[in-house]
Amino acid sequence: MKRPLRVSAWLGAGAALALAGLVLSPVASLVLAAAQGDGSLWPHLLAHVLPQAMRDTGLLLAGVGLLVVGLGTGTAWLVSAYAFPGRRWLEAALLLPMAVPTYIVAYAYLDLLHPIGPVQTALRGWLGYARPRDFVLPDLRSLPGCILLLGFVLYPYVYLPTRALFVMQAANLIEAGRMLGRAPAAVFLRVALPLARPAIALGASLALMETLNDIGAAEFLGVRTLTVQVYATWVNRSDLPGAAQIALVMLAAVLALVAVERHARRGRGFAGTAQRPRALARRPLHGWRAGLALGFGAVPVAVGFLIPASYLVRAALERVIRVGWPASLWSEIGHTVLYAGVATGLAAGLGFLVAASPRLLPGRLGPGLIRVTGLGYALPGAILAIGLLGPLALADTALSDGLTRVFGGAPALIGLGTGGALVVAYLIRFLAVATGTCEAGLARLPRSLPDAGRMLGRGPAATLVRVQAPLAWPALLSGALLVFVDCVKELPATLLLRPLNVETLATHLYGEAARGTYEDGTVAALLIVGVGLLPVLVLMRLGPEREARP
């Protein structure tokens, strides 16, 4: 006979359904907003907007996908299978482009490669040309330029899981192929590459979703993607139904990416072992081969991090020395920390509860909640921003009416007017990040802890709070750090949902780049990169080889 559910279980189930409704509400609102259009915009969209946007988006995704798979898989195999001078430095440095948002890389290279910028000016001087029009490099503002920049920034999404797989899971099979006398190229193509398909598919799908979410780099480089068209239709044309209709097309592209990624990993699994995994034995390289390997691995590090970061440091120092610290930057730092900090606190707490929901909620409700909250990360910021307008407007109206009845008056816009919408958007989009890290931390705890708590008369909730939470605090802090950095770097949702006359570091940088005053945004860009380095430094210390024995 089944035991009746406790009141706490019913309350937990209600809270879980409310949280799932919050995550799913933007999609439902997006459909309703798109249906409000009278259809008069569709002939214009079909004739002039969607064909170019879908073509540019499709070519951008295809180009970035090929580049991140090639760079990420190639560099992961290089540092995992070969030993050469500088390999340990290179293995960590290949993560550095993750610290730089795509729009900052585009911002930096647009100034560096401008016809009268430092690179082309130096080249003309070296080649003996006197006038800028006598020697001009191909314009970076193009689809190929956007593919190259995004690919060199986003390849770590493929590099990180693929390297972990090569180092830990595939070591025995790869060495078996070597023992059978297979050449290194044959071992890579016939053994390592097929084994790495799940990791490659996962990393590539994340990189492509980041590409779809990008608005700054694509707009700076003149690529009219679906995300750029959503922003232009809403902000420039004040057409919310039209923007929602384009966003639905974009959402279909996101769902297609998720389906392709799951299909690529379908039926692919690896046998576990009770023993500690053994690291892959590396082939030593010497002479010109070692130099070639180091040079190949250093190129993406230089293009994706060292060159733009060096430019930002130099330009920021010159700007501060010449005109001083920007006066408005303090308020922008305060706004950035405020919104990101509030969203991080909420995401960390809710993420821990969602990760623990299978232990607290009855039946399949807990695992289902984890899957639903994970959908938020798949929603690009532009789609999320448009989808939140309807639910937040209804919540504002209800809250304002309630406060008016109680106190006799209330502001018309509470959430949307005070930055609450931005915090909610951050929470929905990055809750999956906090949940994933907390779930991994709880999975490492002994399974006997809940049973021990019950033997001592403690319920699941009390055991979770008093025993498991203190033991899992490193995972909780790691998730909070990742969420905070993602909130600071997020541009599309911040652009669309920030309160009037409020700037963050990301929106300040976007505005300076849109005006062409690159030097005035370098300090803000450098601060964003500095914050983005924090999780990268953590990842450098937590490499896969710390879990593998030599």
Residues 291 and 193 reside in one and the same domain: yes
Residues 112 and 60 reside in one and the same domain: yes
Give pLDDT tens digits for 348-392.
888 888 877 776 666 677 777 777 777 788 778 888 888 888 888
Long-range contacts formed by 357-362: CB under 8 A, 24+ apart: 357/12, 357/16, 359/450, 359/460, 359/464, 360/9, 360/12, 360/460, 360/461, 360/464, 361/9, 361/12, 361/13, 361/16, 362/5, 362/9, 362/13
* Residue 457 scores a pLDDT above 60: no
- Cα–Cα distance measured from residue 225 to residue 59, given in angstroms and rounded to the nearest whole number: 10
Bigger pLDDT: 235 vs 242: 242
Q: How confident is the model at residue 548 (pLDDT cuts 50, 70, 90)?
A: very low
Average pLDDT value for residue range 212-240: 81
pLDDT of residue 390: 80
Residues 291 and 338 reside in one and the same domain: no
Within a 10 A sphere around the Cβ of 52, how many other Cβ atoms?
A: 13
Look at residue 548 and tell me if it is in a domain. Answer: no
Residues 102 and 251 reside in one and the same domain: yes
Give pLDDT tens digits for 415-456.
666 788 889 889 988 888 888 877 777 776 666 566 565 665
Average pLDDT value for residue range 513-532: 82
Residues 367 and 292 reside in one and the same domain: no
Look at residue 162 and tell me if it is in a domain. Answer: yes
Say if residue 333 is exposed, middle or buried (CB neighbours under 10 Å; 0-12, 13-18, 19+): middle
Q: How confident is the model at residue 273 (pLDDT cuts 50, 70, 90)?
A: very low
Q: What SS3 class is residue 84?
A: coil
Query: Residue for token digits 């190129």?
Result: 299
Residues 461 and 397 reside in one and the same domain: yes
* Residue 262 scores a pLDDT above 90: no
pLDDT of residue 19: 74
Query: Residue for token digits 């910021």?
Result: 381
pTM of structure: 0.81
Average pLDDT value for residue range 33-45: 69
Residues 414 and 472 reside in one and the same domain: yes
Lowest mean pLDDT among 171-180, 211-220, 280-289: 171-180
Radius of gyration of the chain from Cα atoms?
Answer: 25
Single out the residue of 147, 374, 119 nearest to residue 254, CA to CA.
374
Residues 128 and 198 reside in one and the same domain: yes
Lowest mean pLDDT among 215-219, 277-281, 464-468: 277-281
Look at residue 539 and tell me if it is in a domain. Answer: no
- The pair phi, psi for residue 425, each rounded to 5°, is -65, -45
* Residue 313 scores a pLDDT above 80: yes
Q: How confident is the model at residue 404 (pLDDT cuts 50, 70, 90)?
A: confident
- Counting residues of the chain whose pLDDT is more than 90, the rounded percentage is 12
Bigger pLDDT: 96 vs 164: 96
Please tell me which of 135-149, 159-173, 459-473 the model is most confident about, judged by mean pLDDT. 135-149
Cβ atoms of residues 369 and 361 within 8 Å: yes
Lowest mean pLDDT among 187-191, 247-251, 424-428: 187-191
As for how many domains the chain has, the answer is 2
Look at residue 534 and tell me if it is in a domain. Answer: no
* Residue 518 scores a pLDDT above 90: no
pLDDT of residue 252: 80
Look at residue 511 and tell me if it is in a domain. Answer: no
Residue 490 sits in which domain range?
329-502
Residues 296 and 428 reside in one and the same domain: no
Single out the residue of 527, 492, 164, 469 nearest to residue 330, CA to CA.
527
Look at residue 65 and tell me if it is in a domain. Answer: yes
Q: How far is CA 161 from CA 64, 168, 480, in A?
A: 18, 11, 21
* Residue 242 scores a pLDDT above 50: yes
pLDDT of residue 2: 45
pLDDT of residue 189: 65
Q: How far is CA 290 from CA 6, 155, 550, in A?
A: 65, 22, 22
Residues 260 and 352 reside in one and the same domain: no
Cβ atoms of residues 464 and 356 within 8 Å: yes
Long-range contacts formed by 445-450: CB under 8 A, 24+ apart: 445/471, 445/472, 450/359
* Residue 63 scores a pLDDT above 90: yes
Lowest mean pLDDT among 77-91, 364-378, 397-411, 500-514: 397-411
Look at residue 89 and tell me if it is in a domain. Answer: yes
Please tell me which of 32-36, 163-167, 376-380, 487-491 the model is most confident about, judged by mean pLDDT. 487-491
Query: Residue for token digits 């990301």?
Result: 506
pLDDT of residue 155: 93
Lowest mean pLDDT among 138-142, 154-158, 451-455: 451-455
Residues 114 and 216 reside in one and the same domain: yes
pLDDT of residue 445: 65
Residues 292 and 366 reside in one and the same domain: no
Look at residue 379 and tell me if it is in a domain. Answer: yes
CATH number of the domain at 222, please. Answer: 1.10.3720.10
Cβ atoms of residues 72 and 165 within 8 Å: no
